[in-house]
């Protein structure tokens, strides 16, 4: 089944404790992206990757890191999480660079930083 | 830079009636795409409809259609014969073709009354 998977789905952590949210797609898609969703703000793009080893900042990259060493994986790294990073996070992928092709979204990761 | 604005945080409609959700955008890109996504309470992201900016004809998908006014930078979504299953958050999305940055609007929560 074609899908985008994220792990973990739920995470509660403390301020300053490094964490990684994994994202993997099995569709051989070139483009991958991370978003955060907060009430009243819609989804905001954190980072995106047009292909392996190519990443660029979205609108809200501060406090986040990403890497794209393999085509299928695009992990989101929070080196020192803070409470303002409490949010719902989505990973997405598309066959080629958007916006011409549809994005496929993962199920979301609910992160709480205390 | 690009911005997307959904000025209606909440809308409601009676079952079988028609409702229009508004979206305005601004982009420096000459070639771009616009999308509407549906997000039900499950948080799944579902593509509703897509519009290529270079096409003058408004996109239609069954009960969903758009009114694309390029000069006014407006991209509204019309839902005809509303059904209870249409209740969700609707998110407008814009993206230019020259790079991978995508911008969502703030979202509109649609309630459908029986």
In DSSP notation, B55-109 reads: --SPPEETTEEEEEETTTTEEEEEE-S--GGG-EEEEEEEEESSS--EEE---EE
Considering chain A, what is the average pLDDT of its residues?
94
CA dist., res. A35 & res. A95, Å (int): 18
Output Rg (C-alpha) for chain A, integer angstroms. 13
pLDDT digit string (tens) for A22-62? 999 999 999 999 999 999 899 999 999 999 999 999 999 99
Kindly tell me the sign of the dihedral angle through the C-alpha atoms of A26, A47, A112, A16. Answer: positive
pLDDT at B99 over 80: no
For residues A77-102, average pLDDT: 90
Question: Do you know the residue count of chain B?
Answer: 114
For residues A82-98, average pLDDT: 92
pLDDT at B97 over 90: no
Mutation to test the B interface, candidates A36, A37, A42, most B Cβ within 10 Å: A42
Q: Does B91 touch chain A (CB under 8 A)?
A: yes
For residues B23-36, average pLDDT: 91
Position A58 scores a pLDDT of 93
CA dist., res. B61 & res. A14, Å (int): 45
Question: Do you know the residue count of chain A?
Answer: 114
pLDDT at A18 over 90: yes
**How many Å lie between the alpha carbon of B36 and the closest alpha carbon of chain A?**
11
- Phi/psi at B86 (nearest 5 deg)? -80, -10
Q: Does B27 touch chain A (CB under 8 A)?
A: no
pLDDT at A98 over 90: no
For residues A6-30, average pLDDT: 97
**How many Å lie between the alpha carbon of A58 and the closest alpha carbon of chain B?**
6
Note the maximum CA span of chain B.
Answer: 44
């Amino acid at each position: 089944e074609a899908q985008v998977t994220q792990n973990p789905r739920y995470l509660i952590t403390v301020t300053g404790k490094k964490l990684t949210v994994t994202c993997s797609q099995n569709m051989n898609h070139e483009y991958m992206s991370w978003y955060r969703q907060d009430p009243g703000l819609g989804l905001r793009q954190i980072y995106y990757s047009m292909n392996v080893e190519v990443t660029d900042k979205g609108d809200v990259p501060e406090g986040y890191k990403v890497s794209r060493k393999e085509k299928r994986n695009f992990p989101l790294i929070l080196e020192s999480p803070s409470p303002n990073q409490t949010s719902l996070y989505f990973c997405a992928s598309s066959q080629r660079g958007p916006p011409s092709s549809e994005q496929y979204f993962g199920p979301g990761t609910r992160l709480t930083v205390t | 830079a690009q911005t997307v604005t959904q000025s209606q945080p909440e809308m409601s409609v009676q079952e079988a009636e028609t409702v229009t959700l508004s979206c305005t955008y601004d982009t420096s890109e000459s070639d771009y795409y616009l999308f509407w996504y549906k997000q039900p309470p499950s948080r799944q992201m579902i593509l509703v409809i897509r519009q290529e900016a270079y096409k003058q004809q408004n996109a239609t998908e069954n009960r969903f259609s758009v009114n694309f006014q390029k000069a006014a930078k407006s991209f509204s979504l019309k839902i005809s014969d509303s059904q209870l299953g249409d209740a969700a958050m609707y998110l407008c999305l814009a993206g230019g073709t020259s790079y991978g940055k995508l911008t969502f609007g703030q979202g509109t929560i649609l309630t459908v009354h029986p």
